[in-house]
Amino acid sequence: MSNITYYNLSTEGNKFLTPHFQVHEFADPSDYVNVSYPEDIPIHDKLPAVLEKVFEHFGCTKGIINSGYRSPDADIDVGGSGSGPHTLGIAADVYFYKGSEPVPSRLVACYLKDEGIKGIGLNCGGNPNGTHIDMRGFGVWNDSVWYGDEAVRNGGIYKTVSDFYSYTGTTKAEVYPDGDTPSTPSAPHDNVRNDYTTSTRMVDIVKTYEGFSPKAVRLTGEDEYTIGYGHYGSDVHAGDTITEAEATELLERDLKVFESAVKNAVKVDITQSQFDALVSLSYNIGTGAFAGSDTVKSLNNGEPGHAAVDIPSWRRGMGYQILPGLEKRRQTELEFFAVGVDFTITDCMNVRTGAGTNYPVKTVSQLTANGRECAVDKSASAQAVFKSGTEITALEVKAVYSAQRIDVWFRCPSGWICARQGDEVFVN
């Protein structure tokens, strides 16, 4: 499963990935006006959580990302190689502040190494208050470790540092003034999933799909009453009323139950967006049905593709009736779960111009350069058919529903691939 999520700067730029860091802070196209820069930017799923952990540990009031994602052209524009960690979306150069006072890079670097972070640049850009942080070793560049001092170059290469404490003369008491010194280096961010809470964006989406009921109502076939944004149970009685503010507070409290259900059921690492999707699904179908779902079973079996395409299956309401409202909700959850994730196709697959078999198959000449390399027949005029085992990144997803079956399509840079056709699944 990918460790990278793509975010659209126009539509998701203001999204908070943690309480103190938003999507747009990880990219600034205005810094690179003379080079190409994409609208969709990659961010390593654990990077924002690492920055937030530093922010909280040092009691910061502000964190400034001086440089996050760079396109290859932008990286070259500032003197980089065009293929470094910033171009992968796994790096950030950051300044932390307590009030008007900066937190020295030497303190941040020592703390990060204690936390098991494997890519750390002391004195980023030659500034004693700037720190380079990258997530190598967390699903990207797994064999790579780099600790350096960016204020010192030897033959154009930054000085390597093995121990930030001795190198900078920093004491443990400076880094851990409250005495919470770790006994051994750790890498807690392998389980950042356990720190997730439902994003504000998903809370708003759940509210939209549930709808607001200011009075208690008993839905057809239900034993108990429902009120607010889908709150159901024996604590709701005929004649009860609720305000929107009270309903929102009740929803956020209810979601904690379903957040715990996701964390207890899912045994593998997932992204924030996937967590959001699963919380929404669990809230809608119930914790028992969620825990026993093929979505959860496939995830835990290391089959994220099967997990993704199972989500649209939950489209039936009382009496096993197909409900368009549920199909629409499943589409939203599918998007949260699969967009930006890497999948491997498990059969030779046509590349089409749209999501459905009614769209024509592309020719090889219409594929991207990388796509042409994955074609079974590389002749320009040949039909575009990707080889089994080709890895694709889902940039867009679509569930195509009919009364008889569900098809799921993923759009990669070259075109649309069928991920599921009825009961057959073609991605993992």
Where do you find CATH 1.10.530.40 in the chain? 196-338
Q: Residue 188: its pLDDT value, please? A: 40
- Could you write out the DSSP letters of every residue in 319-364? GG-B-HHHHHHHHHHHHHHHTT-EEEBSS-EE-BSSSSTTSPBPBG
At 13-68, the pLDDT tens digits run 888 888 899 999 998 777 666 777 788 889 998 899 999 999 999 999 999 999 99
Question: Residue 309 in contact with residue 425, Cβ under 8 Å?
Answer: yes
Q: CA 412 to CA 27: how far, in whole Å?
A: 22
Residue 212 pLDDT greater than 90, yes or no: yes
Handedness of CA 51, 57, 63, 65 (dihedral sign): negative
Strand-pair partners of 96: 63
Mean pLDDT over all residues of the chain? Answer: 89
Q: How does strand 40-44 pair with strand 4-8?
A: antiparallel
Residue 224 pLDDT greater than 50, yes or no: yes
- Could you write out the DSSP letters of every residue in 186-220? --GGGGGGGG----HHHHHHHHHHH--EEEEE--T
Q: How does strand 406-412 pair with strand 396-401?
A: antiparallel
- Could you write out the DSSP letters of every residue in 28-65? -GGGGTTS---SEEEEETTHHHHHHHHHHHTT-SEEEE
At 363-398, the pLDDT tens digits run 999 999 889 999 999 999 999 999 999 999 898 999
Q: What is the CA radius of gyration of the chain?
A: 24
Neighbours of 291 (CB within 10 A): 15
What is the total residue count of the chain?
428
Q: Is the pTM of this model over 0.95?
A: no
Question: Residue 392 in contact with residue 342, Cβ under 8 Å?
Answer: yes
Most trustworthy range by pLDDT among 29-38, 88-97, 156-165: 88-97
Query: In sequence order, what are the residues at sequence separation of 6 or more whose Cβ sits closer than 8 angstroms to the Cβ of residue 30?
Result: none
Q: CA 202 to CA 247: how far, in whole Å?
A: 16
Q: How far lies 361's CA from each of 211, 249, 387, 409, in Å?
A: 41, 49, 15, 14
In the chain, what's the furthest Cα-to-Cα distance? Answer: 78
Q: CA 421 to CA 290: how far, in whole Å?
A: 23
Query: In sequence order, what are the residues at sequence separation of 6 or more whose Cβ sits closer than 8 angstroms to the Cβ of residue 420?
Result: 309, 406, 407, 408, 426, 427
Catalytically active residues are 210
Lowest mean per-residue pLDDT among 35-39, 175-179, 238-242, 400-404: 35-39
The domain made up of 196-338 is a member of CATH 2.40.10.480: no
* Angle separating helix axes 200-210 and 324-338, nearest 10 degrees: 170
Q: Residue 190: its pLDDT value, please? A: 42
Residue 282 pLDDT greater than 70, yes or no: yes
